[in-house]
Structure 1
């Protein structure tokens, strides 16, 4: 295990934009590393001679300062003087009407920069987006990406030449890939060395999510049914979600199933991927796929966390990983990720839509030996003429042509490191 701290790429973005006047709002799943990122920023500012104050609504002795805006300002002025300075507020969702509270502070044009975090509050997320338009900048913090994970596990020795390391140290690269597919990227899980400690931490993360975030959202009602839904969806990652079938299986109403799926997405546990279509008669147009934001979380709810998985389940995990890599790469591009499926059940795993340009992507957790384009790509290419097709596989790097369209066979590492659009 490297004896260095985990470096988060979003930290560079935050530091670069720290002088902007908007509230910097870090939001994402519980235990993804928001508090740690804020502490690092505070330390760097303090080392540079800046005045800082860190308050958390997780601490009873800090909550008294949030009884009113005036109470908070008195505390800030006591610690930082007339300004300028940086005020860090952790777990702001514990303050009732946090959106109004922050909006009022920002409208006072104070000489302080506010850096705020919040987790597990669907209401807060929606209200902040609406009421603080133009007054905040959102930064979504997820568990470690595959690249962050590999960089950390190799002690950051190859950060500027990661492609060389992954190409030369193929056995080590395969080990790292399997570890990430098994345990995911929650920072506390990654930092633990022993499998049983990783399991204990993941259990804490899951129980905290269910007993705090979801129990609050559902007002303690039907938490068990929600957990059953998450387990069912975990087993269907990368497959069509049939809401009516879920409702029948779980014994809950169709509106409740859709509502629970919305909660799961808004609390950053999973993401729904909508279909790409232009012909509603021959192509699926409504039913989504689901992918989990962390593979360790998915494996935990399936009861396979840290266990040797079957080849078919590893295939679903690998497809989920491809989605996570795509989401990370396309985060600021405006491009959209879809899938394509016809009523005849021909499907392409991912369709990236960047303006008018399309990229079709098939995922094969196999050691391919020759560049033969998968059959589903032929139908999509014939109909939509994408700018290129990709086949993400375990080892083959090659190029083929399909109806005058380039088909690139590449590894997950190639996808992670190379430009996509």
Structure 2
């Protein structure tokens, strides 16, 4: 298996036994099943795939039957780990998982898609018993491991900005074809089907509009007007897309002086390849007018990934003045202790806007 940052954390979670249930969530095609199979090979135990109805039936909420079926599904290497792939296909399994955590010494490690985790509250019945991890598309450090040939780091960053970080895309010979397939079948179609959305064209058109506005403030009323629909509908679709980690909204930093926009958020895509596929633009970086926005997206999502992977509880914001010159800080990172760092994100460098009244302890240019 190609090395992934989260693998080490999952191994520690299994070995330290701090929680008896470990969930790994993420968008489809990001590599969750590959990691799960690697852990199964390493630690042994039993393996269930809930895409298989027979495996669902075996996971019955009867402790005696459950223990017998776990033994039945054991691999060559015995162990107390129970691995479950595609757990979102059978959310009712939480009853059986609760039995295992309360009555046995098994550890359950399960993967599932963000789509169903966002939709159902079944997993909340396990409160206090589990730890959650979120798998993102490949980071700059990870994508190096997927390369077929050695190349300078800058070339991998360019690949991330054009083709994104889905593992299947990184390994594909025809990256554009693979990206379009993932966009149509694993991103848009799954969300439309799961949420029973009535208008797939509206979803596509909304995503295309958002793709052309990365790094910009989103005006829901303008989106609704452009798409000839209601503000309520757009709000609903934006919430679904955000919960399912297709897009990310960066909140404004609110100061006491009320000089910032108090409600409008900036939009980014979790994967730039999906974004570029939506607008069918795979031109080289050096000829693109949207290079600044693409680079800002790359850095902002990279910062978000660090929050999840490092589990540091940092909060991310932007800041922009109302009126006047409308000076802006692209990204503010605030620690749980309240320490703030301002980041100016510019591909070719740039000047930092400073706001002493915001209490920012340091400023950086990210280029």
Aligned to 1:77: 71
Are 2:27 and 1:33 equivalent residues in the alignment? no
2:6 aligned counterpart, secondary structure: helix
Distance 1:67 1:301 in 2: 42
Moved more, 355-364 or 34-43: 355-364
Matches within 5 A, 1:300-379: 300-304=277-281, 306-309=282-285, 310-331=287-308, 332-344=311-323, 345-354=326-335, 355-366=337-348, 368=349, 373-374=351-352, 377-378=353-354
Q: Is the 8 A contact 1:277 1:283 kept in 2?
A: yes
322-331 or 32-41: bigger deviation: 322-331
Contact conserved, 2:92 with 2:122, CA < 8 A, in 1?
Answer: no
Q: 1:114 aligns with which of 71, 95, 108?
A: 108
Q: In the alignment, which residue of structure 1 is the partner of 2:196?
A: 219
Distance across 2 between alignment mates of 1:180 and 1:277: 32
| Secondary structure of the corresponding residue to residue 225 of structure 1 | helix
Task: Quote the residue 2:182 is aligned against.
Answer: 205
Residue 64 (structure 1) aligned with residue 62 (structure 2): no
2: CA distance, partners of 1:181 / 1:190 = 12
How many residue pairs match? The answer is 356
Pick one of 68, 76, 91 that aligns with 2:86: 91
CA, structure 1 residues 281+133, in 2 after alignment: closer, same or farther (shift >3 Å)? same
Verify the 8 A CA contact 1:122 1:266 in the aligned structure 2: no
Write the mapping of 1:41-56 to structure 2, written as runs, cut at 5 A. Answer: 41-46=39-44, 52-56=45-49
Provide the residue aligned with 1:130 in structure 2: 124
Judging changes above 3 Å, is the alpha-carbon distance between structure 1 residues 68 and 330 closer, same or farther for their aligned structure 2 residues?
closer
Partner of 1:410: none
Higher mean C-alpha displacement, 212-221 vs 330-339: 212-221
> How does the TM-score come out when normalised to structure 2?
0.88
**Would you say 1:285 and 2:285 are equivalent positions?**
no
Structure 2: stretches of 5+ with no match in the other structure: none
Query: Matched residues in 1 for 2:122 and 2:39: separation?
Result: 23
* Equivalence for 1:256: 233
Alignment counterpart, residue 243 of structure 2, candidates 263, 266, 286: 266
TM-score (norm 1): 0.78
Encode CA deviations 1:180-238: one digit per residue, 9 max, x unaligned. 1111111111112x3xx222222222222356521233314122211211111111111
For each residue in 1:284-325, what CA deviation from the matched residue of structure 2 results, as whole angstroms up to 9, or x when unmatched? 111111111111111111211x33254331211100111122
Q: Aligned pair in 2 of structure 1 residues 214, 69: CA closer, same or farther (>3 Å)?
A: farther
Cα gap change, 1:229 to 1:110, in 2 (>3 Å): same
Taking structure 1 as reference, are residues 72 and 142 closer, same or farther at Cα in structure 2, changes over 3 Å only? farther
Contact 1:69–1:105 under 8 Å retained in 2: no
Secondary structure of residue in 2 paired with 1:245: helix
Instruction: State the 1:246 CA deviation.
Output: 0.8
Gaps of 5+ in 1: 47-51, 158-168, 394-421
Q: CA deviation at 1:260?
A: 1.0
- Deviation of residue 359 (structure 1)? 0.8
Compared CA separation, residues 273 and 318, structure 1 to 2 (3 A)? same
Paired residues for 1:151-230 under 5 Å: 151-153=145-147, 172-192=152-172, 194=173, 197-210=174-187, 212-230=189-207
